């Protein structure tokens, strides 16, 4: 059973939605390393959903479970294509780092598909 705040956002698939997702995460998690990493990773996940799919809408689920000491974020787009980590991006490249950052900074992450598209999720440990 969940023991913390939960947020469910349905956002238009546009870059303005990245900021809305970041603000929602910031409201859910106290300032610090977890909040900073969470905001960076939700930025990458939502931006990827907006930039790399033909989705009209992006769904963002944020769950901060105080008892479990965990923040979980999941982002859904309408694509069922397997996400591909591009590897190390060139220093001059403007994109190609999203999944690499998620893989590096998240405690765990993954993806799955459902009847509406693909979910990318990650979790961060919040307990000391």
Mean pLDDT throughout 27-39?
Answer: 89
pLDDT at residue 38, rounded to an integer: 94
* Residue 55: CATH number of its domain: 3.30.565.10
Q: Which domain holds residue 107?
A: 6-125
Cα 72 to the center of its chain, rounded Å? 8
Domain assignment present for residue 1? The answer is no
Instruction: Inform me whether the pLDDT recorded for 119 exceeds 70.
Output: yes
Domain count, the chain: 1
pLDDT at residue 91, rounded to an integer: 47
Please give the model's pTM, rounded to 2 decimal places. 0.87
Instruction: Inform me whether the pLDDT recorded for 50 exceeds 80.
Output: yes
CA separation for the pair 75, 54 (Å, rounded): 14
Band the pLDDT of 33: cuts 50, 70, 90.
confident
Domain assignment present for residue 12? The answer is yes
Round the average pLDDT of the chain to a whole number and report it: 87
Domain assignment present for residue 53? The answer is yes
Domain assignment present for residue 84? The answer is yes
Band the pLDDT of 116: cuts 50, 70, 90.
very high
């Amino acid at each position: 059973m969940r023991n913390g705040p939960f947020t469910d956002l349905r956002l238009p698939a546009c870059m303005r939605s990245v900021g809305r997702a970041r603000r929602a995460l910031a409201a859910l998690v106290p300032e610090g390393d977890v909040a900073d990493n969470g905001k960076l990773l939700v930025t990458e996940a939502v931006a990827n959903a907006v930039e790399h799919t033909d989705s009209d809408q992006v769904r963002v689920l944020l769950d901060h479970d105080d008892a479990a000491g965990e923040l979980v974020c999941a982002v859904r787009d309408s694509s069922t294509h397997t996400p591909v980590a591009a590897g190390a991006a060139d220093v001059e490249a403007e994109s190609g780092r999203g999944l690499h950052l998620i893989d590096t900074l998240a405690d765990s992450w993954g993806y799955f598909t459902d009847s509406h598209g693909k979910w990318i999720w990650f979790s961060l440990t919040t307990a000391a």
